[in-house]
Amino acid sequence: MMKAKANALLLCTLMIASALAGCAGEDVERTLTQADCDAIGDGYTLDSGNNACVTTETVTETVTETVTETVIQTLQPGCTDPGANNHDTAAEIDDGSCDYGQAPADIMAAYEASMASDPDNASVHHETAWYAMKDSRKCREQGSNNPCELVEMSIGDADTHDPADAYDSASGNIIENIYDTLYRYEGRGDGGSHIVPRLATGHTVSTDGLTYTFTLRDDVYFSNGDKLEAKDVVYSWCRVLGFGSPNSGVEWILTQSFNCNDANGDHDDMGGDNLTVIDATSFSVNIFEPSAAFVATIAYTVAAVINSDLCEENRIIETDEDGNVTSDDYCNGFMDEAPFGAGTNAFIVTQWARETRTVLEPNWLYWESGDFNINRYVYETVDETQTRVLALQDKEVDLAYIPPAQKEEFCDNLEDKPNAVGKEGFRCTFRSSYVYVLVPYNVHPKVDDGAGTFVDLINHDCDGDGVDDCNVMTTSEVRMALSYTFDYDKIRTEAYDNELSPAFGPIPQGFPYDDTASETFTYDLPYAEQLLDDAGFVRQYDCTSITQTGAPTVVPVADRDGDECRLPNTIRILSNTGNDPRIASAGILGTALESIGIANDATDKPWAVVLDSYVTGAWDLWIIGWGPDYLDPDNYWSPFAGSTDIGGDAYHTHYHNDALDQILLDARSEIDETARHQLYVDAFALWVQDPNMAFLGQSAGVGVGSDHVCPPAYDPIGGDHWFDWDKLPLVNGQYQGSCS
């Protein structure tokens, strides 16, 4: 677009040096001519009307015109929810088509109806329900960190998956996720525990306190589709009593309360006078004495309910030619592997490579409401500490057992453990507990006779007739002396890095009647030597001749120089490889024993070897832990100091004190709190004169874990229930959500 622009130019302003009069300041005006304009330059013309020279300037101006265009773009429809079964990664707009499967209640209702109308095709109905429940309840992968898989690396593998003979924590941690009990402990959220219903909906107690009647849920199925009934509970409890827990001794928890009157072991009487099936969802049990702790006792895994029909189908009974039963495994060989269909809890065992790996996957028929946050739990057994530390640091595992000495790599403020905090990426939480670290003394230790048979190790004359007839550990003076050889403070502060608080007797701090014990045994080597001297265990043996089995060389009195050994055999101290605090404690004890003339072997061994030694009795001292089975002081006193006659002796020490047994029996059934308190005072006064173990301390430490793993409320009594855990998904390098 073009336009003209007129510029009036005053000749004076242009300072044209021409014959224009008055430009020097004279105020003279005259009429211009074209000649004047030509003198200015080309293009100037005379504008006579204005008496001015003008020119025309061409200016080019560009005008931009904006045009608005409407574009219609089509988005790809589909299910945009990563948590749905039919999530479409290409979908750009949700079209409401997301499928989350059928409601679990509808699936199980259809399953029940199919089983009722067509029982001959049970396996087909089970498979249909199994996969429909999986489709409905499975954890949906939404991140790059396998958020539906939880991996733990620790020490110690399960000894068995059969609840009828499992008493170690490694076994219990698996069993609690496979089998259910009528009640169980769960965390309250304040560091304590409480009992909650599981298979039971409730119970009543008779006025005399002897008969408990339980009602059960009617919507519980074993993983193979068999429905749980009251007969399964009665069978499971009677099986424990019939089998007798030969390796662990855990049956004491039930035998203290009732028996089954099942002399022939076929369980056909379903419990006889003590346990009675009322109908499919109720049964009763008569206990020996009133007990405030009975419901708590059946919350332990030994009272877990198994599939009675499946067990009977796989039970091995051998008879002689006259039909007499010669052996009965009560299906223990079958149950050891936790077979499919055996339990009703949230998971099943899909892999177990002993001392290497255990894998749990969901029991999709699990009765508790809610979807699974974890579709796969992997437990890896690794004894080497640094391997576990690096695996947790590198996020190769989600959880790991970290000894106290290595926790500074994950936690800050450890000098003030109740206020410890995790470094970036980790959670460090102070946890007080009822767990004891203790050292049982084996009163009747055994030794391999060279042919694979373990026989009593006889090396002392107990009756004074000049012939050896017992082991030195039988004498209370030796056991009392041993109790003064533990450097308790050093073990708590150094071996356990201040994660043990003092423990003076069988009842831990925080338990009822914890004030009935007081500090008695301290680190006092001179006093230990005096006790041994007074009992005749003087330094008399050539230490180089000390073994487990051979007869030691006695050094003549005239040749003794005070460096001789006191006991005729080497004291074997059991500790398990990978548990650094226990190994360190064994070393501290071994040095103290050697200083007062007691030869010892404190070599740590793999957990499986430790358990074998425990079963065969080939040990003298054992550094081990004890977690409570139920919240009652008898749960410590009886298994620690009670004999097998009252269902005690959990560590197979063969300790037996008749007077103490009677006190513990009385305390077990005493309802009056004042009277019961006095009984435990009396028990402690008797026990310190005849000790059978040393208490190194009560655990109170810092738990370490990845901060993307979300645990439920801490429970100081029960185990970990993986259905209640969660794991945050990692999406584009960021964890989604929080553990609040």
Single-letter residue type at 612:
D
- Residue 109 is predicted with a pLDDT of 94
259: how many CB neighbours lie within 10 A of its CB? 16
Q: Are residues 174 and 31 in the same domain?
A: no
DSSP assignments along 209-262, one per residue: S-EEEEEE-SS-B-TTSPBP-HHHHHHHHHHHHHH--TTT-TTHHHHTT-----
Domain check: are 531 and 633 in the same one? yes
730/677 same-domain check: no
pLDDT at 57: 63
The type of residue at 298 is I
Q: Count of residues for the chain?
A: 740
Cβ atoms 604, 465 nearer than 8 A: no
Same domain, 229 and 377: yes
Residue 444 · residue 617 · CB < 8 Å: yes
| Each residue's pLDDT tens digit, 435-487 | 999 999 999 999 998 888 999 999 999 988 989 999 999 999 999 999 999 99
- What DSSP state is assigned to residue 732? T
What is the C-alpha separation between 612 and 350, in angstroms, rounded? Answer: 25
The answer to whether residues 380 and 352 touch, using CB atoms and an 8 Å cutoff, is no
Residue 291 lies in a domain: yes
Strands 421-422, 411-412: parallel, antiparallel or unpaired by DSSP? antiparallel
The tokens for 712 are 């439920």
Q: Are residues 464 and 528 in the same domain?
A: yes
Q: Is 130 part of any domain?
A: yes
Count the neighbouring beta carbons within 10 Å of the beta carbon of residue 50.
Answer: 11
Between CA 524 and CA 534, with CA 529 as vertex, the angle to 5 degrees is 125
Query: What is the H or E stretch that residue 109 is in?
Result: helix 104-117
Q: What is the CATH number of the domain that holds 466?
A: 3.10.105.10
381 and 268 together in one domain: yes
Give me the residues paired with residue 16 across strands. none
627, part of any domain: yes
**Angle, CA 103 vertex, CA 99 and CA 107 arms, to 5°:** 115
* Distance from C-alpha of 648 to C-alpha of 652, rounded to nearest angstrom: 9
State the pLDDT at residue 20: 35
Q: Are both 559 and 536 inside the same structural domain?
A: yes
pLDDT at 5: 37
Same domain for 626 and 497: yes
CATH number of residue 157's parent domain: 3.40.190.10
Whether the CB-CB separation of 78 and 88 falls below 8 Å is answered with yes
Phi, psi of 67 (to 5 degrees): -115, 120
Residue 424 lies in a domain: no
CB neighbour list of residue 474: distance below 8 Å, 6 or more residues apart: 443, 444, 460, 462
Q: Taking the CB of residue 391, how many other CB atoms lie within 10 A of it?
A: 17
Rounded CA separation 60/66 (Å): 20
CA–CA dist 488, 477 (Å, integer)? 20
In which domain, by residue range, is 50 found? 2-60
Euclidean distance between CA atoms 552 and 570, whole angstroms: 10
CA dist., res. 456 & res. 468, Å (int): 12
**Alpha-carbon span 162 to 175, nearest angstrom:** 7
How high is the pLDDT of residue 2?
39
Tell me, what's the pLDDT at 52?
A: 78
CA-CA distance, 163 to 240, in Å (whole number)?
8
Same-domain pairing of 187 and 333: yes
**The token pair that represents 566 in the structure block:** 């006191």
Domain-located, residue 270: yes
What pLDDT, on the 0 to 100 scale, is given for residue 29? 58
- Judge if pTM exceeds 0.85: no
Q: Is 122 exposed, middle or buried (0-12, 13-18, 19+ CB in 10 A)?
A: middle
Contacts of 255 (CB under 8 A, 6+ apart): 241, 647
Place of tokens 């996957």: 361
Buried b or exposed e, range 333-354, using 16+ CB within 10 angstroms: ebbbebbebbbbbbbbbeebee
Grouping H, G, I as helix, E, B as strand and the rest as coil, residue 525 is helix
Distance CA 331, CA 83 (A): 41
- The answer to whether residue 425 is domain-embedded is no
Question: Do 12 and 78 share a structural domain?
Answer: no
The number of folded domains in the chain is: 5
pLDDT the model gives residue 76: 79
pLDDT of the residue at 268:
52
Distance (Å, whole) CA 78 – CA 75: 10
Same domain membership, residue 646 and residue 511: yes
Residue 423 resides in a domain: no
Indicate if 441 and 508 belong to the same structural domain.
Answer: yes
Separation in Å, CA 30 to CA 19, 86, 185, 290 = 12, 98, 120, 139
DSSP category for residue 144: S
- Write the single-letter amino acid at 340: F
Are β-strands 45-47 and 2-6 bridged in parallel, bridged antiparallel, or unpaired? unpaired
Give tens-digit pLDDT for 100-122: 778 999 999 999 999 999 999 99
Regions in the chain scoring below 50 on pLDDT: 1-28, 269
- Whether 417 is covered by a domain: the verdict is no
What is the DSSP track for 591-659?
HHHHHTT--EE---B-HHHHHHHHHHT--SEE-EEE--SSSSTHHHHHHHH--GGGT--TT------HH
Residue 714 near residue 430, CB atoms below 8 Å: no
Q: What is the spatial distance between Cα 342 and Cα 224, in angstroms, rounded to a whole number? A: 8
The candidate with the shortest Cα–Cα distance to 586, out of 551, 636, 633, 622, is 622
